Structure 1
């Protein structure tokens, strides 16, 4: 089949590689979660910053892995859509595709949950810090600031009175940046999840239908060619039989002619002898004495 690796061994090798990449992604998510714990629980700024850098590096790598896995799973979906259901490998191709899509979907959901939890924990920490430096803040003010980084100038003005407050402001600013990045990551994960579960696009489906029709036509053409080949052989056999019958008929005619030719002199001789016998009998009858007449 054009454009599709008909070797099931190659297909299974590809799906095994994809599965390993998904497993690598899952391991990355575990490491991301560990670094997030260090960021939230560390009392050392240097330790927290180091963990944040490591986390960003792993996030970048994980993003690339997820996009790669999604593209490769979608490629299998696209290829499977062009494989006729009569193909002997159709069942295993579909099973492997569904398995990989489910596995990748679960990893995406796990990652989304990890990021959502980290965002909630980050907001909780920001709220506690805000309340420490501004004990009189209402819950609405805290919620507004945590949700909206535009409130920074007000918060900054309130807490710049001490070095501790300055450090708190710097920490809160970092956390605001973290929240933005987390929100972007969650949005990316949602887009990947949605794309992963989309059916083959309408344009691709049109191409697939054309290719399937072309393959069907090719198969029918091949069948027709085979039938024509059989018909040709049968026609040749029929003509051969006709020639054989004609030869046999001619041979029979020749044999009859030969028999007639060979028997004709004998027949003529028999006829001549019969005629001579008749001539001998006739005079004898004419010479015999007449019967006496009655007076």
Structure 2
């Protein structure tokens, strides 16, 4: 179990690192929204892309490590199996909790980026219809860019419109990156849900096997007890039979001796001889 405990500790440290990455991503999202220059925006975008990739690699690695903990372990006691289950459930819960926080951050900033795109579009075309706004915000099939460019060509605020368009393009990149991250997180959530189901099945199987072994052991002990009782009973019966046989033999000997002395009294011949000798002497 020492190796298991070491891996659990290492996974917990990685989850803490994952959590710190989510904090950093949150900070970069906020900076991106508040960037005052194109240089600042570009710098934040580059940092965000790099950190997002690092976070993706870390989260995928964590998912594999948590999954590896589910591999069946032979020769494990029921108590150790329960300890493993509790520890795995704990790190699984912390990992999923961080995934949910990451998902919440991405969903929040996806909406804020979309709100920014909508505001930028309405700067260029204040009377835009809801359908046009939706097409630009979601860039449906790439049609949003066309609508925005058409609005720019009709605007008398060309310089401001071009700047708004550049920001919208950047926001679309941010939104697309967030959409990809959310899709990956959804897959991780699904994997983790399946993982905990498999863990419960494995633990139930181990407990069933251990319960069967315990039952077999108990039955074996009961059978040994029965065998001991039978052996003791058999010994008692053998001793009873032995003493009955001895008694029968002694009784038979006694009967034989009695019959013998009955037929052959020990003093009868001697008495007869004494009487005859007395008569002759007279």
Same-fold status (TM-score > 0.5):
yes
Report the TM-score when normalising by structure 2: 0.70
Report the TM-score when normalising by structure 1: 0.67
**Can you list the C-alpha shifts for 1:211-230, whole angstroms capped at 9, x where unaligned?**
66665666666777888899
Q: Distance in 1 between matches of 2:61 and 2:172?
A: 29
Residue 110 of structure 2, aligned match among 104, 107, 119: 119
Partner of 2:178: 182
State the shift of 1:193 in Å.
2.2
State the shift of 1:159 in Å.
1.9
1:77/1:200 contact within 8 Å kept: no
Partner of 1:200: 197
2:31/2:44 contact within 8 Å kept: yes
Q: Distance in 1 between matches of 2:122 and 2:129?
A: 9
Three-state SS of the structure 2 residue aligned to 1:88 is: helix
Superposed counterparts of 1:1-295, under 5 Å: 7=1, 9-76=2-69, 79=72, 87-148=78-139, 149-159=142-152, 162-198=158-194, 199-201=196-198, 205=201, 277-278=270-271, 280-287=273-280
State the shift of 1:22 in Å.
0.9
Q: Distance in 2 between matches of 1:288 and 1:104?
A: 135
Which of the two has higher C-alpha Rg? 1
State the shift of 1:106 in Å.
1.9
Three-state SS of the structure 1 residue aligned to 2:79 is: coil
**Structure 1 regions of 5+ residues with no counterpart?**
1-6, 257-270, 290-295
CA RMSD after TM alignment: 4.7
2:15/2:98 contact within 8 Å kept: yes
Task: Name the count of aligned residue pairs.
Answer: 265
